[in-house]
Amino acid sequence: MTLNQLRAFALVARLGSLRAAAAALNISEPAVSSSLAALRLDLGDALFVRAGAGIALTAGGRALADHAQEIVGLADQVRWEVSHAEESTANLRVVATAGFAEHAAGRLLDAFTRRVPGHSGGIDVVVESADDVGSLLQDHACDVALGARPPQGNQLEVVPFLRYQRVLVAAPEHPLTRLPASLTALLKELWFSGPAGVEEFTAESRWLAASFLASALGVPEIVPLSSETDALAAVRDGEGIMLAFMHIVRAEVAAGSLVVLPMPNTPIAGLWCASTLDHGRAPAAARTLQRFVTTAEATAAMLAPGGSRGVARRGSKVHVALWS
């Protein structure tokens, strides 16, 4: 059994065809077929059978698929760490969900690098959906995830670190501030959000489902803007409403420049988590950050007044060079 054979099989199992795996590896389909034939011979199992235009895994294939990508990912991580061993520090690879990335990531990582001596390397931050976080960790594509809890909790150590609240806000002159808010009235309004919309697997998405879908009323029209900061600006201008973080809008609500619309089951209580691979398989820097996020110092940094301090690019890497 070789890493190349496992890499080919992991791709075939995930993509569902030899042709797709060959394209991903940039090699010929016969080369993939040859690797898999050797792996089948070594393990004494067919691993998969043809099924229509794709493949179906055997019981042995399913057992191997559970481990193949993890083995390949770990090998890639080891190769990278060995090749960079002479560098003073390694970059910490962070994946963050959108709300956390925009409003808290920068403040938290600044505080982390000030507090942790010796972590003078850069921190690579990429913004992805909660649905992708678990696979990115398990594939060793990132070291630690911050923000919404991954729906795939298997083989992960998930540490809750901050409770937040979302409230429905509008400008003072908005018609809904002078009328009893109802689900029917809310459906007629334009809702704004950050670029990720209302993220799946979050308290916010569960509230929307329980409030609107359970009432068979449909769902509001939600317009994603380039950031939640831009969405909040549109709300201030009276163009619509949004679910905003209470700690972000608290001062404006107190000053009367924004109004919280009273709705059942609000404020919406959510929870941010720091997730890594379990059983000590995460890099030491990731485990250190995971411990740090639970401290009072980290909480104070994330909730500090003064507006957002984060990263908001989605789907591409942001290199944050931070020094202690």
pLDDT digits (tens, 9 = 90+) for 149-159: 988 767 899 99
Peptide linkage before 267 cis (omega within 30 of 0): yes
> Is 29 domain-assigned?
yes
**Residue type for position 46:** A
Domain of 72, CATH number, reads 1.10.10.10
Q: How many CB atoms lie within 10 A of CB 217?
A: 13
> Is 32 domain-assigned?
yes
> Is 157 domain-assigned?
yes
If asked whether residues 78 and 27 sit together in one domain, one would say yes
Residue 140, pLDDT score: 87
Write down which residue in 84, 107, 126 finishes a domain: 84
Coil, helix or strand at residue 154: coil
If asked whether residues 278 and 197 sit together in one domain, one would say no
Rg (CA), the chain: 23
If asked whether residues 281 and 142 sit together in one domain, one would say yes
Give residue 123's pLDDT band: very low, low, confident or very high (50, 70, 90).
confident
**Hey, which bits of 24-91 come out as E strands?**
48-51, 54-57
Structure tokens at 46: 């067919």
Q: Which residues contact 102 (CB under 8 A, 6 or more apart)?
A: 194, 227, 228, 229, 308, 310, 311, 312
Write down which residue in 254, 270, 286 finishes a domain: 270
**Interval 21-32: pLDDT, tens:** 999 999 999 999
Residue 324, pLDDT score: 28
> Is 316 domain-assigned?
no
Mean pLDDT of all residues in the chain? Answer: 86
Residue 174, pLDDT score: 93
> Is 320 domain-assigned?
no
pTM over 0.85: no
Burial class (CB in 10 A: 0-12, 13-18, 19+), 137: buried
If asked whether residues 112 and 183 sit together in one domain, one would say no
Task: Name the packing angle between helices 3-15 and 29-43 (round to 10°).
Answer: 110
C-alpha 48/C-alpha 238 separation (Å) is 58
Could you give the percent of the chain with pLDDT greater than 70?
87
Domain of 219, CATH number, reads 3.40.190.290
User: Is the distance from CB of 10 to CB of 1 less than 8 angstroms?
Assistant: no
Residue 301: pLDDT over 50: yes
**Interval 131-149: pLDDT, tens:** 899 889 988 889 999 999 9
Write down which residue in 34, 54, 84 finishes a domain: 84
If asked whether residues 100 and 199 sit together in one domain, one would say no
When divided into structural domains, the chain yields a total of 3
**Hey, which bits of the chain come out as E strands?**
48-51, 54-57, 92-96, 123-127, 144-147, 156-170, 190-193, 221-224, 241-245, 259-260, 268-277, 317-320
In DSSP terms, which residues pair with 147 in a beta bridge?
A: 273
Structure tokens at 129: 């959906």
If asked whether residues 191 and 276 sit together in one domain, one would say no
> Is 133 domain-assigned?
yes
User: Is the distance from CB of 112 to CB of 324 less than 8 angstroms?
Assistant: no
In DSSP terms, which residues pair with 68 in a beta bridge?
A: none
Could you give the percent of the chain with pLDDT greater than 90?
57
If asked whether residues 172 and 262 sit together in one domain, one would say yes
C-alpha 91/C-alpha 98 separation (Å) is 21
190 phi, psi to nearest 5 deg: -85, 125
Residue 41, CB half-sphere, CA atoms under 13 Å: how many? Answer: 8
58 phi, psi to nearest 5 deg: -75, 175
> Is 318 domain-assigned?
no
Task: Name the packing angle between helices 3-15 and 18-25 (round to 10°).
Answer: 120
If asked whether residues 134 and 152 sit together in one domain, one would say yes
Residue 280, pLDDT score: 77
Domain of residue 200: give its range: 163-270
